[in-house]
Amino acid sequence: MASAAPRIGDTKVQMSPLEPGKFINYQRIEDNLAVVRKRLNRPLTLSEKILYGHLDDPHGQEIERGKSYLKLRPDRVACQDATAQMALLQFMSAGMPTTAVPTTVHCDHLIEAQEGGVKDLARAIDINKEVYDFLATATAKYGIGFWKPGSGIIHQIILENYAFPGGLMIGTDSHTPNAGGLGMVACGVGGADAVDVMADIPWELKCPKAIGVRLTGKIGGWTTPKDVILKVAGILTVKGGTGAIVEYTGPGVESLSCTGMATICNMGAEIGATTSLFPFNNRMTDYLNATKRPEIAKYAESFKHNLTPDDGAEYDQVIEINLSELEPHINGPFTPDLATPLSQFKEAVKKNNWPQELKVALIGSCTNSSYEDMSRSASIAEEASAHGLTVKSKFTITPGSEQIRATIERDGQIGAFEKVGGLVLANACGPCIGQWDRKDVKKGEVNSIITSYNRNFTGRNDANPATHAFVASPDIVTAMAFAGDLMFNPLTDSLKGKDGKEFRFSDPSGFELPPRGYDPGEDTFSPPPEDRASVNVAVDPKSDRLQLLKPFKPWDGQDPKDLPVLIKVKGKCTTDHISAGGPWLKYRGHLENISQNCLIGAINEVNNEANKIQNQETGEWGSVPSVAAYYRDRGVKWVVIGDSNYGEGSSREHAALEPRFLGGLAIIVRSFARIHETNLKKQGMLALTFVDPADYDKVRGDDRVDIEGLQDFAEGKNLTLVAKHKDGQVDRIPLAHSFNQGQIEWFKAGSALNLMASRNK
């Protein structure tokens, strides 16, 4: 008798050693692609294989890059503590007993850098006890894995424990694409998207275009994987990757470590890309083996035909980079896409009159805190120390995880950093997200810092708009700390040792993976308990940190008329401008309190000032949140007018929740960043764009507006903005939107959560 051919799904491999009974589903990818290949009849890129392999309905799904909305079934969800609060509060409103897919929460955002890792962690645990108790009890109640404060940064923990080749993950943080370093399609989303997946509703994503970055040559010397993405950011700019997945291919990939590939994917968030990823290769196998997941490496090897792109796969755009010719780059200030090759940076400092003295050099973060990063930087510190030098700039080190911290302490790198004057911070985000109690300069004082982080928007790191923040590899950052001077080029310039003799740094060297294996350090993971029925979720009704949610009101069925323009925003408006981080992070679970930061960083075109707008009802000038609340409390809906790539940056959904909470109806802009546009739709806001971007200029900051066409709101059908000016003139302006029928239902119901809750009743 003939026996059935073996199927990939016959082998059962756990997604993570920490999640018994949850298995990798390569069979679904195999089965879906059998259907999709017949339908499309063309070679597929790697991202297409993984995405289409996770389709909810491969037979009926419309598939057209840049146009179709894919309904997908992700393998897992990850949340960091700042965004997890609102995601869990929303999930609690959905009325389900447990999450539909494996989910984890990571406490990394609420730890402020002040004195050093141990003291800062202890203070954070004390200050944030209420939030941590809520997260610990909510995760226990709903079957979610909980990583305590001090565990490390979400993306590093995911890479070490949960990412796997061919997986699809969403995370409530914009740098979730870090997991692309292990061949995973990992996308940053707002909390409402995460709630959908946790509640067993397909995740909706506009079918991405594919950008191919072909790497040739071999990386070496002072050039690092970080320089690849710094170069790509300079080519594509902060919005050049919008609506696309960036795939790295070519022979040059083989010279990159797995954690180096993760660095590249992580910072791909800065070009607006949906995500970035690499094909499965031997360096991923090495990392999986080193992190005690050899079964996954072996399973991926047997599935490699679907973990690499097809020969002849076509990309919408192709970029070529020769790694042998790529030199180190420094990007910034004030934007992560202003890329300058190191050989030209000295001249750029002079030409632009950037502050030459380097005040602080900071390495680590979710982007660059691997063992390889730390050991290379330590080699630079050791060479400087051998010449009797200590750092001239302040120098901070942020380990990405407790495992990294314990390993580099055991292997001597921490000692090398501290010997030259470095300060080791907690295993947390810290200064990268504005959690930095900086004392060395006053607010408004012009100065320069350099980091190995990913993002450097104005005020991002230290809330000082005069700080010029530059982004580079940990190698360059570390070397510059010893010069204390932005003009220093470690490839060509010398330093004077304690003996008075000049020396030049050698090429950095380090180990890709720890030769003695990883030291796990302290156990900081709490799996959900077996008996969850008795767990009570901790929310104090009197809390100023946590607040249970009330549903937003549904649409009233009318075309809105005579709405005031709350603010006409001028120029760049990131989610940091819309919902500031730093000290506001503590209110991420309290919508009413955090809404007091709504749009306070946005520049009002009327007066070129931030957080000063005119109340059209009273004529008085006030803060954005106070005027918005005044309108709301009197039943007056309002609109915001914005510029290009509105809402770029962090995935924080509070930037969408706050305008909705304060009574906003529509955000009307030249163009949106992807995640923010989706977040607005989820909260029942109208996310609309000018058909002609030049029409932005026709709307005035003191206009009243009507929006016509909502009663016939339909996919692909334009609306009309009637802008009524104070001088009696009127402009009729066509508005486009990207709502599909399902998203229109969100708007009508008042929010996606309202619709979900009504269906779960």
Contact 464, 374 (CB under 8 A): no
Name the one residue in this structure whose structure tokens are 């997260």.
135
| Residue 324 falls in the annotated catalytic set | no
Give which of 570, 324, 407, 374 is closest to 477, Cα–Cα. 374
Which of the following is catalytic: 108, 196, 227, 695? 108
Q: Number of helices (H) and strands (E), helices first, in the chain?
A: 23, 32
- Determine contact, residues 552/684, Cβ cutoff 8 Å: yes
108 is catalytic: yes
Distance CA 348, CA 568 (A): 33
Distance separating alpha carbons of residues 13 and 296, to the nearest angstrom: 7
What distance, in Å, lies between the first and last C-alpha atoms of the chain? 51
Query: Is 534 one of the annotated active-site residues of the chain?
Result: no
CA-based nearest residue to 173, from 86, 64, 294, 99: 86
Helix (H, G, I), strand (E, B) or coil at 639: strand
Strand 244-249 versus strand 209-216 pairing type? parallel
Active-site residue flag, 75 = no
Q: Is 56 a catalytic residue?
A: no
Q: Tell me which residue has tokens 């320069």.
A: 448
**Dihedral of alpha carbons 456, 457, 460, 462, sign:** positive
Q: Which residues contact 353 (CB under 8 A, 6 or more apart)?
A: none
Q: How would DSSP label each residue in 671-684?
A: -B-HHHHHHHHHTT
Catalytic member of 173, 196, 337, 475? 173
Residue 617 CB coordination number (10 Å): 12
In whole angstroms, give the CA distance from residue 75 to residue 407: 30
> Which whole-number Å values give the CA distances from 553 to 83, 149, 243, in the listed order?
23, 36, 31
Q: Which of these is catalytic: 175, 652, 654, 700?
A: 652
Give the contacts of 396 (CB within 8 A, at least 6 positions apart).
113, 360, 361, 362, 363, 364, 422, 423, 424, 425, 430, 431
Q: Which two tokens stand for residue 107?
A: 């406490």
> Which position among 54, 73, 76, 109 bears the catalytic label?
109
Write the Ramachandran bin of 619: left for phi over 0, alpha for psi from -120 to 50, otherwise beta.
left
Q: Residue type for 636, please?
A: V
- Residue 333: asked if its preceding bond is cis (omega within 30°), the reply is yes
Q: Which residues pair with 705 in a beta bridge?
A: 563, 723
Q: DSSP per residue over 214-265, as a string? A: EEES---TT--HHHHHHHHHHHHTTTTTBTEEEEEESGGGGGS-HHHHHHHH
Three-state secondary-structure class, residue 187: strand
DSSP structure class, residue 436:
B
Q: What is the 3-state secondary structure (H, E, C) of 43-61?
A: CCCHHHHHHHCCECCCCCC
Place of tokens 């580079």: 472
Q: Which amino acid appears at position 204 of this protein?
A: E
28 an active-site residue? Answer: no
The distance from CA 258 to its chain's CA centroid, rounded to whole angstroms, is 19
Question: Which whole-number Å values give the CA distances from 252 to 215, 219, 257, 320, 323, in the listed order?
Answer: 5, 8, 11, 11, 7
Active site residue: 16, 151, 595, 650, which one? 650
Instruction: Supply the residues annotated as catalytic.
Output: 108-109, 173, 455, 650, 652
